[in-house]
Structure 1
Amino acid sequence: MSDDIYDPDFVAGVFDRCSGAYRNWSAVASFGIIRSWRRACINGLNLPAETTAIGVDLMAGTGEAWPHLFARFPLVQNITAIDISPGMHRQAIDRLHKDREDRITHLCSNMLETNLPSDSAEFAISTFGLKTFNAQQHAVFAAQLKRILKPGAPFSLIEATDPIGWSFRPLYRFYLDGVLPQVERFFLNGAQDFTMIGAYTRNFGTGRTVLLALRSVGLSVDVKYFVGGSAVRFSGFKPK
């Protein structure tokens, strides 16, 4: 697979086209497990329950992590939602609850080039956006994450992986590479955008390039795998 799939315009196009169906499709395709993974991402944030922190959601998509975030940290003051896809932002805005819309700031931007102020975020989360970067981009991402976070601020990032060594990996790969493309072909007008998930997760592997990138910039990182290694969470903080 060509590295062209990591070109920002290509990524934005993929998620623009599938934004309308993304929320329901991701839930059905993962048999609902993706919801527990989003919750696990939020659980990886080392913050007091009563925090009034200001944070960022990187590659925020349609904002599926926000209900979990506000359930655990109801007093969070503001989230800046960064995503490269205008379609994802539109879907997120359409789904915002009226009692929290004043606490979400939307930024349609490439995370790798964002000019958010340094040392400004008191926490950072990311759910299922890391696979859309290659190894070189992971290095840029890690540097940006470190720059944006305040000293001592926590982060939690979760991503689907290619679970090498898992006994069910052949079935898992067959499902991603064989079944889902056919479902999309017949039930989603054949756009073949969701099938990119299979390519992205295969290239992402176990997420080692993310771990190395985060540690190389000096961030403190813990790693936890879920469901036989089919998802990974990187959680930690920026040292003071």
Structure 2
Amino acid sequence: MKNIYDPGYVKKLFNHMSASYERMNYITSFGFSIRWRRQFLAKLGRSQDKLHVIDLLSGLGENWSFLQNHFPNASFSALDFSEQMIENSKKKSAHLFKGKLNLMCEDILQNTLPSDHYDIISCAYGLKTFNTEQIEILAKQVSRILKPGGRFSFVEVSKPENAILFFFYKLYLGRIVPLLGKIFLGDPSDYKMLWIYTEKFGNSSLLQAIFEQNGLEVTYDRYFFGCATGISGTKIK
């Protein structure tokens, strides 16, 4: 039986979905992914200071224009371990940052990022592909690379607690989205995995406890009746 949390499997999955992932993220969230993105990034605040900002599990760079708007004088980095995601995000990087984005193809769970370096960490829609052990490693890495007093915010599509909403959400993500994947991409199997990951992930409540154990002050965040959840906070000084 395949291990859906194996980094090699996850990388292969996202390499395969890379060309269509931004479009399908919009579809799988009923179009709410952009609104949730604005909301979770707003928790980082705004600053004119010369900060160091990093976008983890950066995908196709969907967070970048918002981050640039919030932190116009910052130095920006982005990290993803999918080679195709990195390759397909280079055009956006060149357009937004004029070659000044430090775009890294690395695994956040095994990385070469400097300690106590970043003022701001963002991460959208990548948490569901981690099991509990990997989330513990992620929390340690976030605590290590973030400056004391630095801020972070994460968001993930989640399993709603409301039974009626959950029924329709499961039907949509589990059945309709793979059908759309077949229509647009000729392959429903990759997008069927998005619901499997989402159902196993549940919500971000587990992250709160794990991140708090690693020297981070954490707030649990809910979006649209729990259809997305996340955590935000600061590294304790």
User: Aligning the two structures, in what range does the TM-score lie when normalised by the shorter sequence?
Assistant: over 0.9
CA distance in 2 between counterparts of 1:115 and 1:201 reads 29
Whether 2:54 is the aligned partner of 1:60: answer no
Indicate how the Cα distance of structure 1 residues 87 and 191 shifts in structure 2: closer, same or farther if over 3 A, else same: farther
Which amino acid is the alignment partner of residue 90 of structure 2? I
Relative to structure 2, which stretch is displaced further, 19-28 or 5-14?
19-28
CA contact (8 A) 1:20 1:91 kept: yes
CA distance in 2 between counterparts of 1:156 and 1:75 reads 19
Indicate how the Cα distance of structure 1 residues 99 and 224 shifts in structure 2: closer, same or farther if over 3 A, else same: closer
TM-score scaled by length of structure 2: 0.95
In structure 2, what is the equivalent of residue 211 of structure 1?
208
Whether 2:16 is the aligned partner of 1:17: answer yes
Deviations 1:77-119 (A, max 9, x none): x222111101111111022343513331111111101121110
Whether 2:64 is the aligned partner of 1:35: answer no
Which amino acid is the alignment partner of residue 165 of structure 2? F
DSSP-derived class of the 1:190 partner? coil
Which amino acid is the alignment partner of residue 57 of structure 1? D
DSSP-derived class of the 2:180 partner? helix
CA distance in 2 between counterparts of 1:99 and 1:31 reads 26
In structure 2, what is the equivalent of residue 155 of structure 1?
152
DSSP-derived class of the 2:164 partner? coil
In structure 2, what is the equivalent of residue 165 of structure 1?
162
In structure 1, what is the equivalent of residue 134 of structure 2?
137
Between Structure 1 and Structure 2, the one with more strand by share is: 2
CA contact (8 A) 2:114 2:145 kept: yes
Which amino acid is the alignment partner of residue 70 of structure 1? Q
In structure 2, what is the equivalent of residue 120 of structure 1?
117
Which amino acid is the alignment partner of residue 157 of structure 1? F
| Shift in Å, 1:191 | 5.0
In structure 2, what is the equivalent of residue 174 of structure 1?
171
In structure 2, what is the equivalent of residue 228 of structure 1?
225
Which amino acid is the alignment partner of residue 44 of structure 2? L
Indicate how the Cα distance of structure 1 residues 98 and 183 shifts in structure 2: closer, same or farther if over 3 A, else same: closer
Indicate how the Cα distance of structure 1 residues 179 and 98 shifts in structure 2: closer, same or farther if over 3 A, else same: closer
Which amino acid is the alignment partner of residue 159 of structure 1? E
CA distance in 2 between counterparts of 1:183 and 1:99 reads 30
The alignment-based identity, stated in percent, is: 31
CA contact (8 A) 1:164 1:206 kept: no
CA contact (8 A) 1:124 1:154 kept: yes
User: Structure 1: where are the runs of 5+ without partners?
Assistant: none
Whether 2:180 is the aligned partner of 1:196: answer no
CA distance in 2 between counterparts of 1:109 and 1:81 reads 10
Which amino acid is the alignment partner of residue 48 of structure 2? E
CA RMSD in angstroms, aligned pairs only? 1.5
CA contact (8 A) 1:142 1:214 kept: yes
DSSP-derived class of the 2:144 partner? helix
Indicate how the Cα distance of structure 1 residues 166 and 68 shifts in structure 2: closer, same or farther if over 3 A, else same: farther
DSSP-derived class of the 1:61 partner? coil
CA distance in 2 between counterparts of 1:71 and 1:173 reads 35
* TM superposition outliers: structure 1 runs of 4+ over 4 Å: none
CA contact (8 A) 1:166 1:229 kept: no
| Shift in Å, 1:166 | 4.9
User: Structure 2: where are the runs of 5+ without partners?
Assistant: none
CA distance in 2 between counterparts of 1:166 and 1:214 reads 28
CA contact (8 A) 1:12 1:84 kept: yes
TM-score scaled by length of structure 1: 0.93
